[in-house]
Amino acid sequence: MIDDVLTAIPFGIILSFTIGPVFFVLLETSATKGFKSALIFDFGVILADILFIIVAYYSTTKLLDKIKDDPNFLVFGGVLLAVYGFISFLKTSKSFRDIVREFHTVEIKKNFGKLFIKGFLLNFINIGVLLGWLGFIVIGNSLTDNNESLFVFLGTILAVYFLVDLLKILAAKTLKNKLTPRRIFKTKKIVSLVIMGFGILLLLQGFFPKEKELLKEKLENFEIFKSE
């Protein structure tokens, strides 16, 4: 279980730094309306993520069972992640004006119920989020041993995402002042490249499964030797 948690942490961090409308509204809500309002908004975002996980999992569960131990599954997950990162990179390269527009046109709802719904809808209408969770499920299924471990993996991603969001809420005013459109543009490109990097790494693991197992055994033997 600990291995599943440690494996999921980097994915949670990457997810929390994907910058879009949700990111801006979260910062703006915290800076202008306070911690509680931003937290309610974020709960709506998380609910949309949970629904996406359920949809993605149950739409692929039969496929997951059939090719659980197939290294080609890692290749499939790597392709999903690499393509997602590549498309995000291309869209970012062409969308500097959109970033500036999002940065300056954030609308805030005062009502807690409306804030929750807005957080949910802003995330739910983004089909890229569903594709991202599908990729995480494919990857998690390849890196874990059973359904319980897979849910630990996905739950850790969500938990890390939420914890980083809490830090963003607390540091909202500072972040808002320092995150100029140009810096946001650069950050989005870096995050896209990191996602592509993870996808390529998974592709390599899928293409060379024997080498992956040998490396895993060496690391396990090293840990045993170190503990002795």
Is 103's pLDDT higher than 60? Answer: no
Q: How far apart are CA 14 and CA 97, in angstroms?
A: 24
Say which residues have a Cβ less than 8 Å from residue 24's Cβ, sequence separation at least 6: 102, 103, 106
Residue 100's nearest CA partner among 191, 178, 182 is 182
Query: Please, what is the angle between helix 209-227 and helix 181-207, to 10°?
Result: 100
- Average pLDDT estimate for 94-110: 59
End-to-end CA distance of the chain: 22
pLDDT greater than 90 at residue 35: no
Q: How far is CA 19 from the centre of its chain?
A: 11
Mean pLDDT (whole number) for 204-210:
69
Q: What is the pLDDT of residue 71?
A: 59
Residue type, 118: K
Q: What is the pLDDT of residue 84?
A: 72
How far apart are the C-alpha atoms of 228 and 221, rounded to whole Å?
11
pLDDT value at residue 212:
53
Q: What is the pLDDT of residue 158?
A: 92
Angle at 130 between CA 124 and CA 132, to 5 degrees: 130
Query: Is pLDDT of 44 > 90?
Result: yes
pTM flag (> 0.85):
no
Triad 27, 29, 35: Cα angle to 5°: 90
119: pLDDT strictly greater than 80: yes
The pLDDT value given to residue 93: 64
Question: With contact defined as beta carbons under 8 Å apart, do 219 and 94 qualify?
Answer: no
Q: What pLDDT, in 10s, does the model give residues 159-190?
A: 999 999 899 888 876 766 676 667 767 767 77
Here the tokens at position 81 are: 């992640």
- The stretches of 17-111 forming alpha helices (DSSP H) are 21-33, 35-66, 71-93, 96-104
212 or 209, which is more confident: 209
